[in-house]
Amino acid sequence: MAQRIGGFRRKTRYKLKKNVRERGKVSIRNYFQKFNIGDSVTFVPEPAIQKGMFFPRFQGKTGIVMGTQGACYKVHITDGSLVKEILVHPVHLRRK
Protein backbone atom coordinates (compact mmCIF):
# COMPACT_ATOMS: atom_id res chain seq x y z
CA MET A 1 0.00 0.00 0.00
CA ALA A 2 1.30 3.46 -0.89
CA GLN A 3 2.31 5.74 1.96
CA ARG A 4 0.75 9.18 2.05
CA ILE A 5 3.09 12.17 1.90
CA GLY A 6 2.14 15.07 4.16
CA GLY A 7 -0.43 15.60 6.89
CA PHE A 8 -4.14 16.29 6.83
CA ARG A 9 -3.63 20.00 6.04
CA ARG A 10 -2.05 19.11 2.70
CA LYS A 11 -3.85 20.55 -0.36
CA THR A 12 -6.19 22.70 1.75
CA ARG A 13 -4.99 26.17 0.69
CA TYR A 14 -8.48 27.45 -0.03
CA LYS A 15 -10.48 25.13 2.21
CA LEU A 16 -8.77 26.31 5.41
CA LYS A 17 -8.55 29.98 4.42
CA LYS A 18 -10.26 32.72 6.40
CA ASN A 19 -12.30 35.54 4.94
CA VAL A 20 -10.38 38.83 4.81
CA ARG A 21 -12.64 40.42 7.45
CA GLU A 22 -12.18 37.49 9.85
CA ARG A 23 -8.39 37.56 9.87
CA GLY A 24 -6.41 38.59 12.93
CA LYS A 25 -6.54 37.46 16.53
CA VAL A 26 -8.77 34.56 17.48
CA SER A 27 -11.85 35.42 19.50
CA ILE A 28 -11.45 34.39 23.13
CA ARG A 29 -15.21 33.97 23.33
CA ASN A 30 -15.05 31.22 20.68
CA TYR A 31 -11.94 29.65 22.19
CA PHE A 32 -13.50 29.15 25.63
CA GLN A 33 -17.13 28.51 24.63
CA LYS A 34 -18.98 25.79 26.55
CA PHE A 35 -21.36 23.14 25.26
CA ASN A 36 -23.72 20.82 27.09
CA ILE A 37 -24.17 17.13 26.41
CA GLY A 38 -26.82 16.74 23.71
CA ASP A 39 -26.14 20.09 22.01
CA SER A 40 -26.14 20.11 18.23
CA VAL A 41 -22.93 21.57 16.78
CA THR A 42 -21.43 22.20 13.35
CA PHE A 43 -17.76 21.73 12.46
CA VAL A 44 -16.25 25.05 11.36
CA PRO A 45 -12.43 25.01 11.30
CA GLU A 46 -10.37 27.82 12.81
CA PRO A 47 -7.22 27.71 10.64
CA ALA A 48 -5.09 29.70 13.09
CA ILE A 49 -5.36 26.96 15.75
CA GLN A 50 -4.25 23.46 14.86
CA LYS A 51 -4.92 21.93 18.30
CA GLY A 52 -8.02 19.78 18.31
CA MET A 53 -8.80 20.34 14.63
CA PHE A 54 -10.85 17.68 12.87
CA PHE A 55 -10.08 16.09 9.50
CA PRO A 56 -11.15 18.47 6.67
CA ARG A 57 -13.56 15.89 5.24
CA PHE A 58 -15.89 16.65 8.16
CA GLN A 59 -16.03 20.41 7.50
CA GLY A 60 -19.64 21.64 7.67
CA LYS A 61 -20.94 18.39 9.20
CA THR A 62 -23.35 18.51 12.11
CA GLY A 63 -23.11 16.30 15.16
CA ILE A 64 -24.19 15.90 18.77
CA VAL A 65 -21.95 16.54 21.78
CA MET A 66 -21.63 13.34 23.82
CA GLY A 67 -19.06 14.33 26.43
CA THR A 68 -15.70 15.93 27.12
CA GLN A 69 -12.11 14.72 27.10
CA GLY A 70 -9.67 17.25 28.46
CA ALA A 71 -10.34 20.60 26.80
CA CYS A 72 -12.03 18.94 23.80
CA TYR A 73 -15.52 17.61 23.16
CA LYS A 74 -16.55 14.18 21.91
CA VAL A 75 -18.93 14.70 19.01
CA HIS A 76 -20.89 11.90 17.29
CA ILE A 77 -21.54 12.34 13.56
CA THR A 78 -22.86 10.06 10.86
CA ASP A 79 -20.47 9.46 7.98
CA GLY A 80 -22.56 7.55 5.49
CA SER A 81 -24.02 4.69 7.52
CA LEU A 82 -21.29 4.78 10.20
CA VAL A 83 -21.51 6.69 13.47
CA LYS A 84 -18.13 8.22 14.28
CA GLU A 85 -16.85 9.86 17.44
CA ILE A 86 -14.54 12.81 16.83
CA LEU A 87 -12.58 14.82 19.39
CA VAL A 88 -12.81 18.52 18.59
CA HIS A 89 -11.60 21.63 20.38
CA PRO A 90 -14.44 24.12 21.06
CA VAL A 91 -12.85 26.79 18.85
CA HIS A 92 -13.74 24.61 15.84
CA LEU A 93 -17.43 24.20 16.82
CA ARG A 94 -20.49 26.38 16.30
CA ARG A 95 -23.96 25.95 17.76
CA LYS A 96 -26.53 24.70 15.28
Note the pLDDT tens digit of each residue in 71-80.
Answer: 999 999 999 9
Query: Is 29 a member of any domain?
Result: no
Give Cα 64 to chain centroid, integer Å: 13
Give percent of the chain above pLDDT 70: 100
Report yes or no on 27 lying in a domain: no
Provide the residue range defining the domain that includes 62.
35-95
What is the number of structural domains in the chain?
Answer: 1
Assess if residue 64 is contained within a domain. yes
Integer CA distances (angstroms), 93 to 1, 8, 21, 44, 81, in order: 34, 18, 19, 6, 23
**Could you tell me if residue 26 is inside a domain?**
no
Stated pTM of the model: 0.89
We report the CATH number of the domain holding residue 84 as 2.30.30.70
